[in-house]
Amino acid sequence: MAFKILFLNGPNLNLLGEREQSQYGVITFNELKKNCLRKSEELDVKLEFVQSNIEGEIVTWIQKAKETYDGIIINAAAFTHTSVAIRDALQIFKKPKIEVHISNIYNREEFRKKSLISDVVTGGIFGMGSHGYILAIIAMHKIIKNENK
């Protein structure tokens, strides 16, 4: 049975490849999505890969995920530092959750060093570039597999 993972991406990640390449690299959002879907197929994982610039949409996806998904991977982007609503929704989701960021948020501007979601997720991957997304999928697969033994 394939596991189902929701991969949530927050604001401005749809602009990957165009914005701050020194922080985020040259990979586009669509290329990143294709890489993640390819890796999930290799692992026999059903992956839904979505992006929104709207906080409320992300909260709604998290709330609905309880019924459908075995785990959530989230790059909340700027909402990482500002959204109590996303944090609260993640805290209610009682299955595995991984926070991922392309850049190392702890090696950036002072306001980016505080994640409101780090203390309610299973773990985090920071500063590994787009490879962090693949690492998150692999880690989530292993976590869910171990829980279902």
Q: What is the pLDDT at residue 108?
A: 77
134: left (phi over 0), alpha (psi -120 to 50) or beta: alpha
- Cα distance between residue 98 and residue 100, in whole Å: 6
* Whole-prediction pTM: 0.94
User: Active-site residue among 69, 101, 133, 141?
Assistant: 101
User: Active-site residue among 24, 69, 133, 141?
Assistant: 24
Q: What is the pLDDT at residue 19?
A: 67
Which residue ranges in the chain fall short of pLDDT 50?
none
Structural domain that includes position 31: 3-147
- Cα distance between residue 148 and residue 75, in whole Å: 25
Active site residue 69: no
> From the CA atom positions of the chain, what is the Rg in Å?
14
**Domains in the chain, number:** 1
- Cα distance between residue 122 and residue 95, in whole Å: 9
Q: What is the pLDDT at residue 130?
A: 93
HSE-CB at 66 with a 13 A cutoff on CA atoms is 10
Output the domain CATH number for residue 13. Answer: 3.40.50.9100
Decide: residue 72, CB within 10 A, 0-12 exposed, 13-18 middle, 19+ buried: buried
Question: What 3-state class would DSSP assign to 49?
Answer: strand
Q: What is the pLDDT at residue 22?
A: 63
Q: What is the pLDDT at residue 88?
A: 98
- Please state, as a whole number, how many other Cβ atoms lie within 10 Å of the Cβ of residue 51: 21
Q: What is the pLDDT at residue 25?
A: 64
Q: What is the pLDDT of residues 133-142, one digit of tens each?
A: 999 999 999 9
Active site residue 81: no
